[in-house]
Amino acid sequence: MDISQVESITRMVMEAINQAQSQPQPKGFLVPVGVSARHVHLTQEHVEVLFGKGYQLTKKKDLMGGQFASNEQVTIVGLKLRAIENVRILGPVRKQTQVEISATDARTLGIKAPIRESGNVAGSAPIALVGPKGALYLKEGCIIAMRHIHMSPRDAEAAGLKNGDVVSVKADNERGTIFNHVVIRVNPSFTLEMHIDTDEANAAGIKQGDTVTIMK
């Protein structure tokens, strides 16, 4: 191989490198999506009202952060006696009972549920719950969960984010949806996942396990 051939090959390699570097590079931080269906969190007191004294929730499936989907379900009832049956209870029990639904569910039930972070139920919508052994009425406690991303501290560091940050997220599919006002939640027990409800997933053409990109 003579010098001219070496120079020619070198030019070709350099051109290929330069072309690759000139191509748009992917930006952002990829996150898998979990689609959250309507569900209920209960105090132990309310578990016993609905299922009987001394009753304990039984585990159906483990979830992140030490939570689990229980085998138990209830019926939720709106102010106009409109109901949705077979709503899953998530355990373990909490200090405050909370019902999380979608905007479509709220219309079905005839209630005005606010969009809130989990745990922020002050002044939220009233709702009734019916179980096999009893019923209870909540003056507040029903919300539409604010879209959010669960992260471990390592994930948060890699993404350059911290607990409580609010970001925008892009779903790069046929719908091309951008979600604003997405809250970051960081905890060592969390697995990386964005949670949206069924309304949001259907509107954006997203299914369980799809990935989206954080756009700071």
Q: Considering just the CA atoms, what is the radius of gyration of the chain in Å?
A: 24
How far apart are alpha carbons 55 and 131 in whole angstroms? 12
Q: Where in the chain are the domains? A: 29-33+147-215, 37-145
**CA 63 vs CA 59, 67, 138: distances in Å:** 10, 5, 26
How far apart are alpha carbons 158 and 125 in whole angstroms? 38
Contacts of 165 (CB under 8 A, 6+ apart): 183, 184
Burial bucket for residue 176 (CB in 10 Å: 0-12, 13-18, 19+): exposed
Is pTM beyond 0.75 here? yes
Contact 176, 193 (CB under 8 A): no
Cα atoms found within 13 Å of the Cα of residue 4, Cβ hemisphere only:
0
Domain 29-33+147-215: assigned CATH number: 2.40.40.20
Return the amino acid letter for 72.
E
- In tens digits, what is the pLDDT along the chain, a chain of 216 residues? 566 655 665 666 566 555 544 444 445 799 999 999 999 999 999 999 999 999 999 999 999 889 999 999 999 999 888 999 999 999 999 999 999 999 999 999 999 999 999 999 999 999 999 999 999 999 999 999 999 999 999 999 999 999 999 999 999 999 999 999 999 999 999 999 999 999 999 999 999 999 999 987
**CA 56 vs CA 63, 89, 98, 126, 135: distances in Å:** 18, 12, 18, 25, 17
> Which tokens go with 95?
């200090």
